[in-house]
Chains A and B, each alone.
Chain A
Amino acid sequence: MAIRKYRCAIAVAVIALLLAPAVFAGGDGEDDAAAQEPVTLRVSDWRGDAGLVEYYAWMTEFEENTGMTIETEVTPFAEYFTKLQTTAAAGIAPDLWNMSSAFLPQIAELGVILDIGDLVDQDPDFSWDDYHEVAVEESFYNGVAYRLPLGLFPAIFYYNKTMFDEAGLDYPNDDWNWDDLLEAALALTRDTNGDGTVNQWGFLVSKAMQVGWSSFVWQNGGEIINQAKTAAAIDQPASIEAIQFLVDLMNVHKVSPGIEAAEQLGDPFLTGQVAMTVHGVWKLNPYSGIEDFEWDVAMIPMQRQSATSSIGGGYTIFKDTEYVSEAFELMKFITEKSQSQKSAGIPAKIENMDLYFEWWDNVPNIAAIGRMIQFGHTLDITLGWNEWRSAAETEVSLALLGRKTAAEAARDAAKAINEVLARQ
């Protein structure tokens, strides 16, 4: 009776065991290659979707050129730093890894990444002058070079041409300021299906610091953090004014959908519910698939000056790696290859920047991004940036929800930011 009862389980176990050879036979032979080759480099990266195939091709090319073995470890971006820190905590950090700007200060302070300044200076092929200065700025922290410039990801202004046409409005141009933005937003916020509720909004206000309001603060001459990066500056009058403008857009002029709209997966611009938005250039990818309406980009409407948030990327080398010069070779290789791979980010290498306009020639006014990047303002990333950013965003959320005035929110944000900075 027992056999009969467990018949199902036995069958399943047998199948599983039969699968095992198929599964083991392929083995992990690739990973055993390390025993044969003298130099093995471990690279950690985030590369989802299409870029992955090309990435592996680069690695194969590098292996063939140099005779080294490359072990890649690819993790989805959302879990990337969790995994990186876990492996490092267990003492097996990779030799080379992709490092986002948000984590650069902290990891540099911990002294686990290599100062590549000398390697760069001694290298005959590489020169900082070949790269855009904003991207180069991102490669340094506290005057020390840790990364090679990969690309630039500014924020830009997107608008729905079809909606503008329907409303009979002129398209945004480089001279647009906040008044123009407000005027257009008011005209574009409508009830298009006559059911009594607004279903089309003029402008998407977002609580996110990086793409939502930082550009506005800087355009008004304000700052979020002071120049020395030692204290908050978000409670300066100029900064408060900028936040007030956005809060008014949402609560007084009512040209924006609710605060949750900017967070949802299918963003309101993509779904054709919002006429204008500020967002990072990485939206070029999903937006290029839009079929239901025409859209374009423009410079972000300015105020006292033009400004946009800009962020870059790059790889770093583990300080205690055995293979310093080899890792540097790989770092240069990947960086160079990335300059010609189609990406939503602008190549950091000056001579490659024109490629960008070819890749994205489906966007009529793509040149605006080239003009915008001159006003790129780096994100003032400090120790504890992740933490104080979310505290500031919470305060701005409360202002957008009408729970606090912009001034109160700014003051509380400054307090929270200073607390975080003090704890570092």
Chain B
Amino acid sequence: MKRKYKDYLTAYAFIAPNIVAFLAFILIPVAFSLYMSLHEWKLLVEPDWVGLANWIRLLWFHVEDGRLVANDPRYWRYLGNTAYLLLAVPFTIVVALIFALLLDQPLKGRVVFRTIFILPVVSSTIAVAVVWSWLFNTEFGLINMGLRFIGIRGPAWLGTIEWAKPAVIIMMIWKQAGYNMLLCLAGLQNIPSQLYDSAAIDGAGPWSRFRYITLPMLSPTIFFMVIMGIIAGMQAFNSVFVLTKGGPAESTTTLVYYLYNNGFQWFRMGYASAVAWSLLIIILVFTLIQWRYRTKWVYGETGKP
């Protein structure tokens, strides 16, 4: 009996340093913003209580000319844009994994390569935007020039509604791959080489070794990348903004950009808080689903309290 409580105390002691800062600087602002979603707040004056008005406007519908119309059609449009951009997540993980496997081999100069691959993460956002807008340039961009080489007429990437989002996805993959590669490399280090050795002795080929050793042993890392990828992807703003400014015709405008506009440009911080919380709820649902199935998908997650 006593031992168990002592263990609990130890556990709480371990989390204590973390939790204190968390409560003061994260939880309170988060709770405050939920409270704000029930107000209208023009920032320079006191907030006004509006109850659920923001939420109803955000999520609900009304009838117009006999049709069901959303109260805030822009919200749904931007939600769609944001969800579309999530396509970057699986691609980034796959690409990062490939890079990590390539650079885990004892190749000469692999540190140089790894450093180059991490450059996108630390390069200035403006430089990234300028270079990519050139790459995507309809007439002179390298991408379209390359396509012309193999006989395809490339689209006006940043100038058409259909192709702007794929262009953004390509840039996002490029930007995140090095980051995730680092995670995968760290994960690969932890796989005991005896596992590979005994598998090779048993006659397992490279693909089997990958499928039955590497992948499962990396699954906690992959789990992390998927969850964090969705959390970050749903909040995409900066890199999208510098490349397309949300255009053309709002086709790459994301929810966080809408939130930012409402809160700091249009004097509606209460509404912005509602948008933010709706985003939190959506991401939380995604995460909870993955959390629920983690014992099935992820090695090492026992799920037992």
Contact = CB atoms under 8 A, between A and B. Distances in A.
A85 B265 CA distance: 10
A266 B250 contact: no
Most central of B140, B250, B265 by chain A CB within 10 Å: B265
A258 B159 contact: yes
Interface stretch (A17-25, A55-63, A107-115, A165-173): A107-115
A88 B265 contact: no
Most central of B44, B248, B269 by chain A CB within 10 Å: B44
Contacts of A46: none
A261 B156 CA distance: 11
A342 to B, nearest CB: 26
A256 B180 CA distance: 41
Nearest to B249: A397
Given A258-B159, A265-B129, A88 B266 contact: no
B267 A265 contact: no
B265 A387 contact: yes
Given A81-B265, A89-B43, A106-B267, A397 B139 contact: no
Contact of B44 (A93, A199, A398): A93
A260 B130 contact: no
Most central of A93, A259, A386 by chain B CB within 10 Å: A259
B162 to A, nearest CB: 10
B130 A258 contact: no
Interface in A102-124: 106-107, 110-112
A88 B44 contact: yes
B247 A397 contact: yes
A88 to B, nearest CB: 5
Given A397-B248, A401-B248, A112 B44 contact: yes
Interface string B131-156: 00100001110000000000000001
B34 interface: no
Contacts of A88: 43-44
Nearest to A318: B44
Interface in B238-279: 244-245, 247-250, 261, 264-267, 269
Instruction: Identify whether the interface residues of B are mostly helix, strand, loop, or mixed.
Output: loop
B248 A260 contact: yes
Interface residues of A, number: 33
B158 interface: yes
A89 B267 CA distance: 12
Given A197-B139, A258-B159, A394 B249 contact: yes
A84 B265 CA distance: 11
B44 A260 contact: no
A384 interface: yes
Interface in A172-217: 197-199, 207
B44 A266 contact: no
A73 interface: no
B44 A89 contact: yes
B266 A263 contact: no
A142 interface: no
B138 A258 contact: yes
Interface in B100-132: 126, 129-130
Nearest to B136: A260
Nearest to A386: B265
B48 to A, nearest CB: 12
B126 A258 contact: no
Contacts of A227: none
Contact of B248 (A112, A259, A387): A259
B160 interface: yes
B43 A85 contact: yes
B42 A110 contact: yes
Contact of A82 (B156, B160, B250, B264): B264
B244 to A, nearest CB: 8
B128 to A, nearest CB: 11
A264 interface: yes
Contacts of B139: 197-199
B160 A401 contact: yes
A110 B44 contact: yes
A370 to B, nearest CB: 33
Interface in A353-405: 384, 386-387, 390, 394, 397-398, 401, 403
A397 B244 CA distance: 13
Contact of B159 (A81, A89, A260, A384): A260
Contacts of B140: 199
B227 interface: no
Given A107-B44, A199-B139, A266-B130, A260 B264 contact: no
A246 to B, nearest CB: 15
B45 interface: yes
A258 B156 contact: yes
B161 interface: yes
A3 to B, nearest CB: 22
Contacts of A263: 244-245, 247
A259 B247 CA distance: 9
Contacts of B245: 263
B249 A265 contact: no
A112 B45 contact: yes
A283 to B, nearest CB: 18
A259 B158 CA distance: 9
6 contacts: A197-B139, A259-B159, A265-B126, A394-B250, A397-B248, A401-B160
Given A88-B43, A89-B269, A93-B44, 19 more contacts: A85-B264, A86-B43, A89-B44, A110-B267, A199-B139, A199-B140, A259-B159, A260-B247, A260-B248, A261-B159, A263-B247, A265-B129, A265-B130, A266-B130, A386-B261, A386-B265, A398-B249, A401-B249, A403-B161
Closest 7 CB pairs of A and B: A258-B159, A397-B249, A260-B158, A260-B159, A85-B43, A89-B43, A82-B264
